[in-house]
Amino acid sequence: MKKWIGALLAALCMVTLLPVQAAAVELPLTSRAALLMEKTTGQILFAQNEHEKLEPASVTKIMTLLLTMDAIDSGALAYDDVVTVSANAAGMGGSQVFLAEGEQITVEELLKCVCVSSGNDAAVALAEKVAGVTELFVEQMNNRARGLGMDDTHFVNPTGLTAEGHVTSAHDIALMSRELLTKHPDIRSFTTIWTDSIRNGTFDLANTNKLIRRYDGATGLKTGYTASAGYCISATAEREGMELIAVVMKGETADKRNADAKALLNYGFSAYALVSAAPEEPLPALPVTMGETDSVSLTLPPDALTAVVEKAQAAALERRIDLPESLPAPVRQGQQVGTLTLCSGDTELMTVPILAAEDAAGRSWGRMLTDLLKMAVFAG
C-alpha cells in the first residue's frame, strides 16, 4: 500500500498543465490588492499586488473557521457542544453578537455568528473552545498557515482586530479560503445564510457579505473592515460546476470592494471553464509479456483530471491516449505506462499519466517450463 501511495503521489507530480496567465487582462479595480483563484485546481486567473502584506481585518476569521472545522472533522469538537462564554470572549470589541460572560451557546450557533455577523466575541469563544486559550489557538493558526504555504502571513489574534504584525496577503487569503471550501464544504451552510437568529429567535443576524443576496451563485465567504485595513473580502461563487475565489484587500469603501469582487468573478466566469480530462470510455487493459497474468488494468490519478481553460479552448476538446502495445513483466501497481493528453486543436492543455492499477509479476522458472512443455506437446 505504501508503494502504491508513493507511486500515485509521484504520478500526480507529473501532471502538466498549460499555465493560465494571471493578470492577462486589465480590470478596473480600485482596491490595493486582489487575486482570483479557481477552487478545484488552485489555478490563479488574475493577480494584483497579491503578495503585498496587508491587514486582513475580519477576513482573518477564515482561519478561525478552518481550525474549528478541522476540530469538528477530527471528532475533537461537535456542532452541538455547548460553550460557556468567558469574560475574555465577552469583552471583545468591534463587530459582535453581544455574548455575555457565562452565557452558554452551541458551537453551531457560534459558527453562524462568525460566518453571518462576523462576531469577534463568537470567534474568540470558538478559539478558546478549540485550544483552551487564544494564545495557543493563534499558534495553531500560524502553524496551519505555514502548512498551506502562506508565507506572507502572521496572525496575532483570531478576530482580525488591529494588532501590530497581524498581516497576510491576497494570495494567502485565497489559499486558506480554498482549504476551507475544499476540506469542509459544509461551511457553505453557514456562509450562504442571508438572515437568521440566535437565542431562540430573540437576536437577529444579518450577513455582512451583501454579495450573498446580490451575486448569482454566491457561496460566501468572509468580509472584513477596520480603519487601517480598509474594506476586504474573500468572495466565493459557483456557476456551472466551477467555484471561484475572489480576494480584495484595502478597498476604499464597501461598495467599491464589492464592485471589485464582482468584477473579478465576472471575469472568471466569462473567460474560463473547468473541464475534465477523463476519457468517455474506460481505459483498455494492457497486455503483459512474460507475466504471471496476461494483462493489467489501467487507471488515472483521480485528483488530477480537471483543468481550467479558456472558454474558446473548451469548445473543441480532444483526448489523445498514448500507450505501448504491451508491457514487459514485472509491472508495479502505480507505475506510469502511458499518457492521456487533453488538446484543443494543436494546443496541448493538460497531460496526465496513465498508471497500472495492479501488479503483474514476471513468470517464474516453473511457469516458463510448464509453458514450454505445453508448447512441445501441442507441437507434437
pLDDT of residue 128: 98
Widest CA span in the chain: 96
Kindly list the domain boundaries of the chain, sorted by start residue. 2-10+277-365, 31-271
- Cis peptide bond N-terminal to 330, omega within 30: yes
Per-residue model confidence (pLDDT) at position 292: 86
Question: What strands, in cross-sheet order, belong to the sheet with 286-289?
Answer: 295-296, 286-289, 327-328
What local confidence, expressed as pLDDT, does residue 25 receive? 83
Beta bridge partners of 275: 307
Q: Give the rounded distance of the alpha carbon of 160 from its chain centre.
A: 22
Amino acid identity of residue 219, one-letter, is T
- What is the rounded CA–CA span in Å between residue 262 and residue 208? 16
Tell me 154's DSSP state: B
Spatial distance between the Cα atoms of 344 and 350, rounded to a whole number of angstroms: 10
pLDDT number for residue 349: 87
293 half-sphere exposure, CB direction, 13 A CA radius: 13
Pairing relation of β-strands 16-17 and 33-38?
unpaired
286-323 confidence digits (pLDDT tens): 999 988 899 999 999 977 788 899 998 887 889 999 99
The architecture in CATH of the region 31-271 reads: 3-Layer(aba) Sandwich (3.40)
What's residue 7's pLDDT? 43
Are 353 and 11 in contact by the 8 Å Cβ rule? The answer is yes
CB neighbour burial string for 42-72, b if at least 16 within 10 angstroms, e if fewer: ebbbbbbbbebebbbbbbbbbbbbbbbbbbb
Which residues are tagged catalytic? 58, 61, 118
Residues 6+ apart with CB under 8 A from 200: none
Query: Residues, the chain, total?
Result: 380
Q: Per DSSP, what are the bridge partners of residue 235?
A: 221, 246
**Residue 252: which residues within 8 A CB-CB, separation 6 or more?**
30, 31, 230, 231
Domain 2-10+277-365 has CATH 2.60.410.10: yes
Q: How far is CA 6 from CA 1, 148, 174, 250, 356, in A?
A: 9, 21, 28, 43, 13
Residue-level pLDDT at 280: 84
Over the chain (380 residues), the average pLDDT of each successive run of 10 is 42 47 77 98 97 98 98 98 98 96 98 98 98 98 98 98 98 98 98 97 97 97 98 98 98 98 98 90 92 92 86 88 94 94 88 94 66 57
In whole angstroms, give the CA distance from residue 314 to residue 28: 26
- Residue 206, helix vs strand vs coil: strand
d(CA 368, CA 361): 13
In tens, the pLDDT along 105-161 reads 999 999 999 999 999 999 999 999 999 999 999 999 999 999 999 999 999 999 999
What's phi and psi for 213, nearest 5 deg? -90, -25
